[in-house]
């Protein structure tokens, strides 16, 4: 299994705890200016990931919506054709078997 698979399979509580421990571990060797700089840099990375993921989700949602619209249109065309066929069958004169 890949490292990313292991990371994303972690329970939410464990992931939060690891983040907390790592955050505190990074504060002790750094002074306040370094902590501020590193924190802002990590936030920038997070914002880029958030923006990229949001745009990706939007595009996926639009694609799924378009696919659903196309499927609905196809079903409506098939339904119209079936209704027309039923109408034609009802309008045919019935032939007697004997």
Q: Which residue has the higher pLDDT, 6 or 46?
A: 46
Residue 97 pLDDT exceeds 60 = no
Question: Is 72 within 8 Å of 63 (Cβ atoms)?
Answer: no
pLDDT at position 70 over 90:
yes
- Residue located via tokens 């700089």: 37
The per-residue pLDDT for 24 is 94
Comparing 1 with 95, which gets the higher pLDDT?
A: 95
pLDDT at 39 over 70: yes
Q: Given a cut of 80, is residue 28 above it in pLDDT?
A: yes
Categorize the per-residue pLDDT at 95 as very low, low, confident or very high, splitting at 50, 70 and 90: low
């Amino acid at each position: 299994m890949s490292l990313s698979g292991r990371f994303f399979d972690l329970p939410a509580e464990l992931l939060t705890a690891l983040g907390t421990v790592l955050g505190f571990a990074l504060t002790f060797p750094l002074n306040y200016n370094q902590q501020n700089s590193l924190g802002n840099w990590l936030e920038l990375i997070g914002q880029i990931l958030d923006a990229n993921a949001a745009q990706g989700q939007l595009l996926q949602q639009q694609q799924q919506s378009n696919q659903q619209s196309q499927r609905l249109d196809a079903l409506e065309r098939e339904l119209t054709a079936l209704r027309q066929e039923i109408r034609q069958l009802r309008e045919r004169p019935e032939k007697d078997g004997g």
